[in-house]
């Protein structure tokens, strides 16, 4: 038995453009991370080292993103019935946490450098940071183009990282120039703390977005009350309850709902109408609708109140 015997929709993502983009980004990032680490150690620049730490986190993030992309292409099975799509979100969550931890380390070292300033090799610092600026401009453009073609939270988080890297490179260059003309060495830890704030902001944003998906929260583009109202407006539907909308991964949404229907309406027609409406209006394709009747499905007080209201409405109509 293959996966299509028990899945009418394939829970996979084949994203060739994202794979190609991430491979290019990973190779370039790994190369420049090594350059920045060596340059930061030789020049004794905290701003350069903090930027290299950010780049190192990017290598880790991109590595996890690559694993997530390849896992997402694997079909579902009897154990992982949704496939491996959720690993994309797990990878993004771990990437976000890593960024926040790195930022905290930069804050601590920046404060220490304020208290105990250290000399810096200007020429090496400006050379390495200039190379970094060029690399980050290229990577930002490549990732930006990819996000416009394919929806992927990992690629989006990588883009955010490299926007931060781009700003970091600019900050390091500004720091080097100020130090060269003024000998104000406190500018180096100051710039590193600003870079740390950028990293922390990006990490917190990615972590929050991933956390919401992992918690099966309603995706922010969907209005639960409006979806319930739209289902309720389908002919034959009398009540909608126990409804859930969540994201398995970016752009893979699922919905389940229980509905009371008019006993004189063909239930298959109701399900078909609901499915077509949800796909056409909201782009939700993975849908499970459970048809019920309050008179023989036990719903406690909810069911009793529904029946009482239905009887009351019928009586009002017959007057």
pLDDT at 15 over 60: no
Question: How confident is the model over 199-232, as pLDDT tens digits?
Answer: 788 788 888 988 999 999 999 999 999 999 999 9
Least reliable range by pLDDT among 242-246, 260-264, 280-284: 260-264
pLDDT at 287: 93
Looking at residue 47, what is its pLDDT? 65
Residue 32's pLDDT band (boundaries 50, 70, 90)?
confident
Is the fold of 3-214 the same as that of 224-318?
Answer: no
Report the pLDDT value the prediction gives residue 6, as an integer from 0 to 100: 47
- pLDDT tens for 140-195 read 787 777 666 655 666 666 776 677 677 777 877 887 788 778 878 788 788 878 87
- Residue 116's Cβ-count burial label (10 Å; 0-12, 13-18, 19+) is exposed
Q: Which carries the bigger pLDDT value, residue 68 or residue 34?
A: 34
pLDDT of 149 reads 61
Query: What confidence tens digit (pLDDT) does each residue in 54-113 have?
Result: 677 778 777 877 787 777 778 878 888 778 888 878 888 887 888 788 788 878 878 887
- Tell me if 109 sits within 8 A of 53, measured CB to CB: no
In the predicted structure, residue 131 carries a pLDDT above the cut 50: yes
At residue 295, φ and ψ (nearest 5 deg) are -75, -25
Confidence of residue 14 (pLDDT cuts 50, 70, 90): low
Between the CA of residue 20 and those of 33, 57, 75, what are the distances in Å? 20, 20, 21
Secondary structure (DSSP) of 99-113? HHHHHHHHHHHHHHH
Q: Return the structure tokens found at 102.
A: 């790195």
Specify the higher pLDDT residue, 93 or 24.
93
Residue 136 CA to its chain's centroid (Å): 21
**What is the per-residue pLDDT for 35?**
82
Mean pLDDT, the chain, rounded, equals: 80
Q: Which long-range contacts (CB under 8 A, 24 or more apart) does 148-152 make?
A: 149/17, 150/15, 150/17, 150/18, 151/250, 151/251, 152/13, 152/15, 152/18, 152/69, 152/88, 152/250
Contact 140, 162 (CB under 8 A): yes
> What percent of the chain is predicted at pLDDT more than 90?
19
Helix residue ranges per DSSP H, the chain = 16-43, 46-72, 87-115, 122-149, 153-182, 187-214, 224-232, 267-282, 300-318
Q: Domain locations in the chain?
A: 3-214, 224-318
pLDDT of residue 18: 65
318 compared with 217, residue with greater pLDDT:
217
Q: Following CA atoms 135, 140, 146, 147 in sequence, which dihedral angle do they give, to the nearest 10 degrees? A: 160
CATH dotted code for 3-214: 1.20.1510.10
Indicate the class that CATH gives domain 224-318.
alpha beta
Residue scoring higher pLDDT (40 or 147): 40
Sign of CA dihedral 151, 153, 157, 158: negative
Q: Reply yes or no on whether the pLDDT at 273 is more than 90.
A: yes
Round to whole Å and give the CA distance between 279 and 10: 16
d(Cα 9, Cα 6) in Å, to the nearest integer? Answer: 9
Q: Which residues pair with 288 in a beta bridge?
A: 256
User: Which of 125, 147, 211, 164 lies closest to 17 in space, CA to CA?
Assistant: 147
Find out whether 153 and 74 touch, Cβ atoms under 8 Å: no
Cα–Cα dist 117/232, whole Å? 67
Report the DSSP pairing between strands 286-292 and 237-249: unpaired
Contact 88, 250 (CB under 8 A): yes
**305-313 average pLDDT score:** 79
> Would you mind telling me the total number of residues written for the chain in this entry?
319
């Amino acid at each position: 038995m293959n996966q299509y015997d028990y899945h009418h929709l394939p829970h996979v993502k084949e994203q060739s453009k994202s794979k190609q983009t991430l491979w290019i980004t990973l190779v370039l990032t790994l190369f420049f991370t090594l350059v920045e680490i060596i340059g930061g150690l030789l020049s004794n620049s905290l701003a350069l080292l903090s930027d290299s730490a950010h780049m190192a986190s990017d290598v880790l993030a991109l590595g996890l993103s690559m694993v997530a992309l390849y896992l997402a292409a694997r079909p579902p099975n009897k154990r992982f019935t949704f496939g491996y799509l959720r690993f994309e979100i797990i990878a993004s969550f771990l990437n976000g946490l890593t960024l926040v931890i790195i930022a905290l380390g930069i804050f601590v070292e920046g404060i220490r450098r304020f208290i105990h300033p250290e000399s810096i090799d200007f020429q090496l610092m400006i050379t390495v940071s200039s190379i970094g600026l060029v690399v980050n401009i290229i990577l930002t453009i490549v990732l930006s183009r990819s996000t416009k073609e394919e929806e992927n939270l990992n690629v989006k988080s990588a883009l955010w990282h490299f926007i931060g890297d781009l700003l970091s490179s600019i900050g390091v260059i500004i720091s080097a120039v100020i130090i060269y003309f003024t000998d104000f060495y406190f500018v180096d830890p100051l710039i590193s703390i600003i870079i740390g704030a950028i990293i922390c902001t990006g990490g917190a944003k990615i972590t929050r977005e991933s956390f919401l998906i992992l918690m099966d929260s309603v995706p922010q583009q969907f209005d639960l009350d409006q979806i319930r109202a739209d289902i309720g407006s389908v002919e034959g539907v009398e009540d909608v309850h126990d409804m859930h909308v969540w994201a398995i991964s970016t752009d893979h949404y699922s919905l389940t709902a229980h509905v009371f229907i008019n006993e004189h309406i063909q239930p298959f027609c109701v399900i078909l109408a609901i499915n077509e409406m949800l796909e056409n209006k909201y782009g939700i394709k993975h849908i499970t609708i459970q048809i019920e009747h309050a008179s023989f499905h036990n719903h406690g007080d909810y069911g009793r109140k529904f029946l009482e209201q239905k009887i009351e409405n019928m009586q009002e109509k017959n007057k």
